[in-house]
Chains A and B, each alone.
Chain A
Amino acid sequence: KNEVEQSPQNLTAQEGEFITINCSYSVGISALHWLQQHPGGGIVSLFMLSSGKKKHGRLIATINIQEKHSSLHITASHPRDSAVYICAGGVAGNQFYFGTGTSLTVIP
């Protein structure tokens, strides 16, 4: 079992839909990161959370420390949001445990 689990693995949505990607972790973490990777592209850090909620444009990330769970929401999804979204738990020593990613496809 991975220390960080994401669901779903694959997600297809119609343009405009509200999207939720979930991340659960089994280790104690200092912070949780959400990353975005476009096909053949680099990795962009979207959020780093240690508590509560953060919002950036149409993206919202939440974390529940007690339940060891985080969600990434995308409002009014757009085809350019199509990418792999990766959840990563930061632990002591600046280490990270990565989820295997959620592949999102937004259809026009």
Chain B
Amino acid sequence: NAGVMQNPRHLVRRRGQEARLRCSPMKGHSHVYWYRQLPEEGLKFMVYLQKENIIDESGMPKERFSAEFPKEGPSILRIQQVVRGDSAAYFCASSPPVVRSGYTFGSGTRLTVV
């Protein structure tokens, strides 16, 4: 059981490029959550997804950010036209439908926009 897998671990993008962050949930977990951790700040919720369905995207910025969790393959957090302020650590977590002891975080993707 490989746990929650995020890739890449580090991603460097120039301003205006697109960033794609991937998250493969733990085996048996059907729910995925994305969080952002800005430098010197705490974790902030972005979006909560099930397969082919966005449950809650109240934490997503209104523009340039999107997320999906297709029937096959990992969940993708996509940031279009990145700006310096997007530089952060992006963490994914997964859980079974009811969160008990099964809430597990990935190692994160550190995005640097230059």
- Interface residues, chain A, with chain B CB atoms under 8 Å away: 30-31, 33, 35, 40-45, 48, 86, 88, 90, 93-96, 98-101
Interface pair A100/B42, CB less than 8 Å apart: yes
Given A93-B48, A95-B45, A98-B44, A48 and B100 contact (CB-CB distance below 8 Å): yes
Interface pair B99/A90, CB less than 8 Å apart: yes
Interface pair A94/B95, CB less than 8 Å apart: yes
Classify the secondary structure of A's interface with B.
strand
Interface pair A48/B103, CB less than 8 Å apart: yes
Interface pair B105/A35, CB less than 8 Å apart: yes
B66 at the interface (CB under 8 A from A): no
Interface pair A94/B91, CB less than 8 Å apart: no
Count class of interface residues, chain B: 20 to 34
Classify the secondary structure of B's interface with A.
strand
| Nearest residue, chain B, Cβ from A35 | B105
Best-surrounded residue of A40, A43, A44, A100 (most CB of chain B within 10 A): A43
Interface residues of B in 36-68 (CB under 8 A from A): 41-45, 48, 55-56
- Interface residues, chain B, with chain A CB atoms under 8 Å away: 31, 33, 35, 41-45, 48, 55-56, 91, 93, 95, 99-101, 103-108, 110
Distance to closest chain B CB from A24 (angstroms): 15
Some 20 contacts from A to B, beta carbons below 8 A apart, are: A30-B99, A31-B99, A31-B100, A40-B110, A42-B105, A43-B43, A43-B105, A43-B106, A43-B108, A44-B105, A45-B103, A45-B105, A86-B43, A94-B55, A94-B99, A95-B45, A95-B48, A96-B43, A99-B42, A100-B42
Given A86-B42, A94-B33, A48 and B48 contact (CB-CB distance below 8 Å): no
Interface pair A98/B43, CB less than 8 Å apart: yes
> What A residues does B103 contact at CB under 8 A?
33, 45, 48, 90
